[in-house]
Amino acid sequence: MCRLFALHSDTPVTADFWLLDAPYSLVNQSRFNADGTGLGWIDADGAAHVAKRPVAAYESVRFGQVATALHSCAMIAHVRLSSGTEHCDENTHPFLQDGIVSAHNGVLEVTDQMKQRVRDLGAAHHVHGSTDSEWMAALVTGETAAHGGDLHDGVVAALTWIAGNVPVYSVNLLAMKGEELIAVRLPATNELWVLDRDASATSPREALDQASDTLRTRSEDLAGVDSVVIASEPMDDDPAWRLMDSGELLHLTADGQIRTEKPFGPLAHPLTIDDLGLSAAASQAHAAQDRAQQQRRRRLAERAA
């Protein structure tokens, strides 16, 4: 499966721990997801940027350079396992459209009806590649514009339309506009996890510098900083990782508030893995990854007990 990552913090931080050093980091995951690597972030002036290439993260010098150099309060990263479309810049996540950065994990069917909906919203010019993810991103961009630039309302409108009109296997979405970040897990097909690192809690978070038999974690920037990490799987053994519910939308506002809701109804046309083509099915199922995820979930449960 493709892998998603997002970080939202109350002050600019680096992402070198999460992207390069964590035992279940995106670089390690990219050995199973080798069809593209991308980073999206918001700079100090509030402008959105994307750096991406259709290569594996562990083979990309550019990935390492950007991951260790950028400072941001909001960032998204993605490593891609293609569901059958071409390996090219246009098909690599994240997508940047009208200041909105988005990335997707899953499969949905881009029907003629969906394409027409995107055209009706005046957003078809954003589609340059051949992925379902870019069409979905364009729908989010078009609906956001139609809702006065409100990212939350745009995401809800876009995914409500998708849930009611097109066949869907999984829509795990990250969308960012300015320092506002939204994550959606729809439905429960693929996992999406959240780690809320509250610096003002009874036991405030310190800088990460921990060692065990299996891992070494470091991130000086996150000491005393409120931050939220979102990822396709837990990226360390912290028992505070929480699996998002099916249909859950997590909304991180620019001022640091965290809101969660379930605004979506049932899928009108749910797909199973048996309904997917060979390439799409292969992109969503990897035995080694599944076994590793199960082991991590057991460790987290044991640490929380």
SS3 78: strand
Query: Domain with 215 in it: what CATH number?
Result: 3.60.20.10
Domain span at residue 93 reads 3-304
pLDDT in tens, the chain (305 residues): 467 888 888 888 776 644 444 444 444 544 444 455 778 999 989 999 998 665 554 455 555 566 667 788 898 887 744 444 445 566 786 999 999 999 998 889 999 999 999 999 999 999 998 889 999 999 999 999 999 999 999 999 999 999 999 999 999 999 999 989 999 999 988 889 998 877 665 455 555 443 333 333 345 677 777 888 888 877 777 788 899 999 999 999 988 789 999 999 999 999 987 766 544 444 444 444 454 555 655 666 666 66
CB 251 within 8 Å of CB 184: no
Distance CA 203, CA 78 (A): 32
Q: What is each CA distance from 257 to 9, 19, 47, in whole angstroms?
A: 11, 24, 21
Contact yes or no for 17/72 (Cβ under 8 A): no
Q: Would you say 35 and 87 are in contact if contact means Cβ atoms under 8 Å apart?
A: yes
Question: What is the count of structural domains for the chain?
Answer: 1
> For residues 132 and 109, is the Cβ–Cβ distance under 8 A?
yes
C-alpha to C-alpha distance for 284 and 253, rounded to whole angstroms: 31
What pTM was estimated for this model as a whole?
Answer: 0.79
At which residue do the structure tokens 């003629």 appear? Answer: 112
> What is the pLDDT at residue 187?
94
Bridge partners of residue 39, in order along the sequence: 51, 77
